[in-house]
Structure 1
């Protein structure tokens, strides 16, 4: 894309995708490694919140660790085979595990503030957090298995790229958009907005309250910015062949892995969770 003799790189063609994902992999690897290291440094005092954030870090780290295959494919072109099907599914399994875990953290954060006494008196919080995280992975993997034919080799032109005449099934897109994006989005917007409202009603003007409101707002905005484009693109693919917008939106969605580690780990250290 050229604007007044200035070149702006977007992940459109294969080489552009490789160049765009390289810094994302490096940054994502560093911030996720730092977050995981910080979490395990606190393992003696883990709470249910640590379990949720570890699950989020696991999903984001797994997505980041498989990005080198996408970078390699951009430069050297992996043949479309069942290994490619595996790579595509791993990418989206981890992306949606991250989405659902973010929603679970929002619910947990809302309940902790809205019902502080009940939250503190409940003794099986860790077990509940583990059950929620396990349910997330089972649900995401099950959806992947149900629709695995959508990414079979015969439907791929290149690894990570569908044939031009292969549209996504409407049922698959509806599942991704409604269950995989809109439902978590509504949960996050409701919980975050209500939490901000509760905090604004408090008479105290502490730096901790301001920091919490800023962080919750930032988490919500980042979620919307990162995941809206890719689901718009999925919807578009039921009508027209995939376009440059899909490649750009996939890259934008992947950047969430960096924001998650920075924002939620910061939240864990700065705020009561």
Structure 2
């Protein structure tokens, strides 16, 4: 499936391709993700009068994950019964990735907040308007992501799609868009998350304390870092390879084409893994 380009006129030669395996793969992600995120949101709003800055970041993460999850049924439907290629597809693609990057950047903000609190515990107690700052940071993150999406919205217009969730193989994304997604949307957050997580673990290991709370904190920080790397590395490698695939990697022969679909599925599973963070936070929340 390719798109023939003549000057500025695009002609999409696409056929409906049923992908039962993809549809079946997204079903458990949707069911588990919907249950876990709905439970988390219910718990958050049940105690909204006691929110801290951490809860605001976590709530923002839950909203991003929940929104992505809510649109997965359309992706599942498309895998079994192809959706027509139109502007709704453009909306669905951007909704998926907007919420993915909102999750990435919110996770990064949470890592920075955790590091500052553990690195400067005494100063952190005297910080004022922490909730207001957290709320402002979340708004800035959403504003930044939505602005970039608006600027590059033509990159996923219907004439550049071969199916509802798949771009034409011979029409590459804008190089600037690729750089923003890979460098600003992944590499920079990755470095921040790894640095903050490593420093938190190092600081806690030096503390002469064998309490369950300390071990649990180290465990959750380590798990979050590993999940971040596991979920988001494949898809961004895919973006780079998709932009300029090696000559001997042919989409219709399997490797790159299948890799991109698997990488997207792996990235989507982060909506379920984030529930580990929710569980840890909410357990302490209700215990208090």
CA distance in 2, matches of 1:212, 1:266: 9
Distance (whole Å) between structure 1 residues aligned to residue 20 and residue 194 of structure 2: 36
Instruction: Report SS of the residue matched to 1:157.
Output: strand
Aligned to 1:264: 278
Q: Tell me the distance in 1 between the aligned counterparts of 2:69 and 2:80.
A: 18
Q: Which moved more, 1:141-150 or 1:94-103?
A: 141-150
Shift of 1:268: 4.4
Give the secondary structure class of the aligned counterpart of 2:243: coil
Q: Distance in 1 between matches of 2:149 and 2:279?
A: 29
Structure 2 CA distance for partners of 1:259 and 1:213, relative to 1, 3 Å: same
Asked if structure 2 preserves the Cα contact closer than 8 Å seen for 1:53 and 1:264, the reply is yes
Match of 1:149 in 2: 154
Q: If the length of structure 2 is used for normalisation, what is the TM-score?
A: 0.88
Query: Unaligned 5+ residue runs, structure 1?
Result: 1-11
- Secondary structure of 1:80 counterpart: coil
CA contact under 8 A between 2:18 and 2:80: conserved in structure 1? no
Q: 2:14 maps to what in 1?
A: none
Counterpart-to-counterpart distance in 2, 1:122 and 1:268:
23
* Residues 147-196 of structure 1: per-residue CA shift (max 9 Å, x gap): 11110000101011111212222211111000000011011000000000
Q: Partner of 2:262 in structure 1?
A: 248
Q: Distance in 1 between matches of 2:55 and 2:216?
A: 19
Q: What stretches of structure 1 move > 6 A for 4+ residues in a row?
A: none
Q: What TM-score results when the alignment is normalised by the length of structure 1?
A: 0.92
Aligned length: 262
Instruction: Specify the alignment match of 1:72 in structure 2.
Output: 77
Displacement after TM superposition at 1:262 (Å) = 2.6
**Structure 2 stretches lacking a partner, 5+ long:** 1-16, 246-250
Q: CA shift at 1:13, angstroms? A: 6.6
CA distance in 1, matches of 2:161, 2:60: 31
C-alpha deviation, 1:266, in angstroms: 1.7
Higher mean Cα deviation, 37-46 or 262-271? 262-271
Are 1:229 and 2:234 counterparts? yes
Aligned to 1:176: 181
In the alignment, the residues of structure 1 paired with residue 269 and residue 225 of structure 2 have an alpha-carbon distance, to the nearest angstrom, of 15
What RMSD over aligned residues (CA atoms) do the two structures have, in Å? 1.7
* CA distance in 2 between partners of 1:173 and 1:46 (Å): 37
- 2:121 — aligned with what? 116
How far apart are the structure 1 equivalents of 2:283 and 2:194? Answer: 23
8 Å CA contact 1:196–1:213 kept in 2: the answer is yes
2:22 & 2:147 partners in 1: Cα distance? Answer: 29
Point out the more displaced range, 99-108 or 71-80: 71-80
Residue 149 (structure 2) pairs with residue 135 (structure 1): no
Q: Does 1:20 align with 2:28?
A: no
